[in-house]
Structure 1
Amino acid sequence: MASESSVLAHGLGLTVLPRTRSGGVVLYLHGDRSLAGDPEAGLGLAEDLAARTGFEVFCARYRPAFPAALHDVRAAYGHCRTRGQVALAGRLEGAGLAAALLLSLRDEGAPPPHCAVLLSGLLDLRLTAQSLLLNGATDPSFDLQDLRGRARAYAGDAAPTDPLLSPLLGNLHGLPPVQLQTAGTDPLLDDSLAFAGRAARSGVDVHLRVRSSAADLRSGMIGSAAAFLTSWAPAASD
């Protein structure tokens, strides 16, 4: 989608501007299984999302350590607020950071994003879910021991039960509408299922989409996210 957008560098990350902007900003937190916050790696997804929504998409850069990563995405959120109405999206560890940011903003009494999308979210850094073992065993690219080592390094001295590391364990009351996307074969399936259940019991408007395979998730992920983000976008006069 590069021909339909332009990319601007910023100290906090990269901004993707769609050719035709319809208003609104998405703060996108890219992640991978190495728990790295490299915005360049997320540009393809961000450009696709910008083209489908007409929203400006800001890919935040964050340090691969807690709590520095959360401080970085909080600063990126403040930057996005100067650009317009903000929605939030994240993938893998980025989705975990997005959920932690929601909790942090609520506890601060700060204005929240109008909605959030969590894509195959790493939402529980205890890494004890059954799907990590059952689904991970069928995914040759997934190494649970490596992920656990990276998670320990990322957490540092913080306990993995800290809700800002494992937002699944936090108080989920008062969050904006959330879409969670995962696949039945996803090693992180249980994180999304458990978060959706706890959020729903807390009165959050939850939209859960479980696709049959990782390939189906990849092919439909951006279309579903774009539809959700645009459906919750405030009117231009708001």
Structure 2
Amino acid sequence: MRASRRVSRSRIAVGVAGIGLTVGAFSLYSRRRYGRSAAATLAEYGTRPVKMVHTRMSITKRIAHLASRPEARRAVAFPAWGRLFYDLERREDSGMPVYHLRPRTPSNTIVIYLHGGGYITTAVTAHTWFVDHLARRTGADVVMPLYPLTPHHTWQEAHRLVLDLYRRVVTENPGKRIVLMGDSSGGGLAAVIALSLAEAGDTQPDELVLISPWVDVTHANPQIADYVDTDPLMAPEPLTEIGRSWAGDTPPTDWHLSPIYGDLSGLKKVTTFVGTREIFLPDNALFHAKLLEAGVDSTLHAGEGLNHVYPMFPTPEGHRARRDLVRLITGELASAAPSRSGNGRH
């Protein structure tokens, strides 16, 4: 009996050691091959199948299918534990659902968060968990609208509703710190809202924070071709098709759709996070260069070996980015972690 137990324990020990060696080997491979954590590599492998179904034909069919059906209800669910830290309220604003997360302790900061989804998909669980994290860690009020989407709507209605919401939040909260933030298409829309405020002579947000923003729906930048094979999630052709649907009768190069073509000189402070393994990197780098040329305080954080919206991933790199986002929101940090250039600028 005792001998049998010793053999069993020995086998368990060997098994654990084998698992440890395998994990260690994969971690070493990930560091040497991509310069990132094993968790980040696993996250990429998990997203690769997504790109396989994102062909132009499938997107065209999807747009036509969605257009032929009644518009889906826009709604999300937030983590239950959040109720321990903030009050959650859903309002209807001219038909646009708006979620308000209000901390139990009054805050001097308000985050207006615009979700991604390619202007065709509403917020998902990843967004609510991310927003919940920001609300709990910063103690800030968070406002997240579920704006109208294509193909039932074009950019005009979403732009009007979000801009009106932003102005109303500012008016109702005089003197408070305002952070305008968005990811992917929501990041592009956030940049458009900031440009609209500048055009009207309105005060800019204290922080404009963009996570892998979609700043050019035309994808005309020739450097994008260098990233198509490495991006596991996105391809330019289907996104361009969605961009046309979102544009309606407006030229896709209009800055209301592609803020990279706008007059950027009226913006105040912009911080962008983007991965080096995504097709948005060339446009984000160009957008950053144009911001600097226009005299804007702009910081670009390019996550080496990381994918689209990497701050939202449950990886060590995502954790570090979220920590920096928290410090940006609370005003503890003028600039977040160093960018690719190593000096806070790219």
Question: Would you say same fold, with TM above 0.5?
Answer: yes
* CA distance in structure 2 between the aligned counterparts of 1:205 and 1:9, rounded to whole angstroms: 34
Q: 1:198 to 1:116 in 2, by over 3 A?
A: same
Which residue pairs with 1:222 in the alignment?
A: 322
CA contact (8 A) 1:116 1:178 kept: yes
Aligned equivalent of 2:160, options 54, 71, 75: 71
Aligned equivalent of 1:38, options 83, 98, 123: 123
Displacement of 1:100 after TM fit?
A: 0.6
Which residue pairs with 1:134 in the alignment?
A: 226
* CA distance in structure 1 between the aligned counterparts of 2:276 and 2:251, rounded to whole angstroms: 29
Aligned equivalent of 1:14, options 89, 94, 99: 99
- The Cα offsets for residues 92-116 of structure 1, whole Å up to 9 and x where unpaired, read as 1111111111111111112221111
Unaligned runs of 5+ in 2: 1-80, 334-346
CA contact (8 A) 1:115 1:178 kept: yes
CA contact (8 A) 2:109 2:329 kept: no
**TM-score between the two structures when normalised by the length of structure 2:** 0.62
| Secondary structure of residue in 1 paired with 2:210 | strand
Aligned equivalent of 2:185, options 90, 93, 99: 93
Which residue pairs with 1:61 in the alignment?
A: 146
* CA distance in structure 2 between the aligned counterparts of 1:39 and 1:177, rounded to whole angstroms: 28
Ranges of 4+ aligned residues in structure 1 off by more than 6 Å: none
* CA distance in structure 1 between the aligned counterparts of 2:199 and 2:328, rounded to whole angstroms: 25
Higher RCO (C-alpha 8 Å, min separation 6): 1
* CA distance in structure 1 between the aligned counterparts of 2:232 and 2:274, rounded to whole angstroms: 18
CA contact (8 A) 1:8 1:14 kept: yes
Q: 1:131 to 1:91 in 2, by over 3 A?
A: farther
CA contact (8 A) 1:106 1:174 kept: yes
| Secondary structure of residue in 2 paired with 1:33 | coil
* CA distance in structure 2 between the aligned counterparts of 1:232 and 1:197, rounded to whole angstroms: 25
In structure 2, give the amino acid aligned to 1:68: E
Displacement of 1:197 after TM fit?
A: 0.8
Q: How does 1:198-237 map to 2 (within 5 A)?
A: 198-212=290-304, 213-214=306-307, 217=311, 218=313, 219=318, 220-231=320-331
In structure 2, give the amino acid aligned to 1:153: S
Q: How does 1:147-166 map to 2 (within 5 A)?
A: 147-166=239-258
CA contact (8 A) 2:197 2:204 kept: yes
Which residue pairs with 1:25 in the alignment?
A: 110
* CA distance in structure 2 between the aligned counterparts of 1:33 and 1:129, rounded to whole angstroms: 19
Displacement of 1:33 after TM fit?
A: 3.1
* CA distance in structure 2 between the aligned counterparts of 1:190 and 1:232, rounded to whole angstroms: 30
Which residue pairs with 2:61 in the alignment?
A: none
Q: 1:118 to 1:25 in 2, by over 3 A?
A: same
Moved more, 199-208 or 218-227: 218-227
Point out the structure with the larger helix share. 2
Displacement of 1:181 after TM fit?
A: 0.5
Q: Quote the RMSD (CA, aligned, Å).
A: 2.2
CA contact (8 A) 1:37 1:60 kept: no
Displacement of 1:4 after TM fit?
A: 3.1
In structure 1, give the amino acid aligned to 2:326: A
In structure 1, give the amino acid aligned to 2:288: A
Displacement of 1:222 after TM fit?
A: 2.4
* CA distance in structure 2 between the aligned counterparts of 1:67 and 1:90, rounded to whole angstroms: 18
- The Cα offsets for residues 8-41 of structure 1, whole Å up to 9 and x where unpaired, read as 1011410122344432111100012354343776
